[in-house]
Amino acid sequence: MARPKVHDGALRDRLLRRAGEVVSASGIEALSLRTLARACETSTTAVYALFGGKDGLVTALFDEAFARLARHLDAVPRGVDALEDLVRVGLAYRASALTEPHLFALMFGSRPGLPVAAAARTATGTALGPLRMAVQRAVDERLLRADTDPATASLTLWTTVHGWAALQLRGYLPPGADGRLESALRAVLEGWRAR
């Protein structure tokens, strides 16, 4: 008779959830496999069996962080105005960064050991994908000029909101600038607006 599987998907999810809480609250440096295993009522052997060690756990957490960002962006309601949707997606991106700053840092900080192609694929698909779709919709609906390149426009919007969030998280924005991102996004979009 086969032994029951002890290290199952539910335990994996529990470990990732708790690891995400630790990283969100205290940063990657605070993540200890022994403490994590104890908090999830398992052993470090289980962590090694499921993730291969701390590097594997951090890589899985990296993927989970992008999945959380994707869920956050996907939750933005799509309205009748594609330009308004673009602004809302940009604001949701920043809100996600501010809500879980350590996961934001994990996603976009230096991550040794993670294949560059995987990081680029995740960043492009998750962070840039929703913006690109909204830009394409705005072009299709003739809200943006017909010559607008969706790849360039979405990359510009992403760098605008990403840079804003990164500077805000580091405390580099001047006092009172928190509420100005929406105006900045609208100003960027104005350059492509159909006349």
pLDDT tens per residue, range 143-156: 999 999 998 999 99
DSSP assignments along 81-104, one per residue: -HHHHHHHHHHHHHHHHHHSHHHH
Rounded Cα distance between 129 and 143, Å, is 19
Structure tokens at 125: 């698909």
Q: CA distances (Å), 135 to each of 10, 86, 155, 179, in order? A: 38, 7, 10, 23
Pair (63, 111) in one structural domain: yes
> Do the beta carbons of residue 86 and residue 134 sit within 8 Å?
yes
Rounded Cα distance between 74 and 130, Å, is 8
Q: How many domains does the chain have?
A: 2
Pair (159, 65) in one structural domain: yes
> Do the beta carbons of residue 33 and residue 54 sit within 8 Å?
yes
Task: Report if residue 195 sits inside a domain.
Answer: no
Asked whether the predicted pLDDT for residue 119 surpasses 70, the reply is no
For residue 63, give the DSSP letter: H
Pair (175, 103) in one structural domain: yes
Q: CA distances (Å), 61 to each of 10, 21, 38, in order? A: 15, 11, 18
Pair (31, 95) in one structural domain: no
Task: Name the band, by pLDDT with cuts 50, 70 and 90, for residue 2.
Answer: very low
Residue 15 structural domain? 1-52
pLDDT score recorded for residue 114: 57
Residue predicted with more confidence, 180 or 179 = 180
> Do the beta carbons of residue 46 and residue 64 sit within 8 Å?
no
Q: Work out the percent of the chain whose per-residue pLDDT is above 70.
A: 88
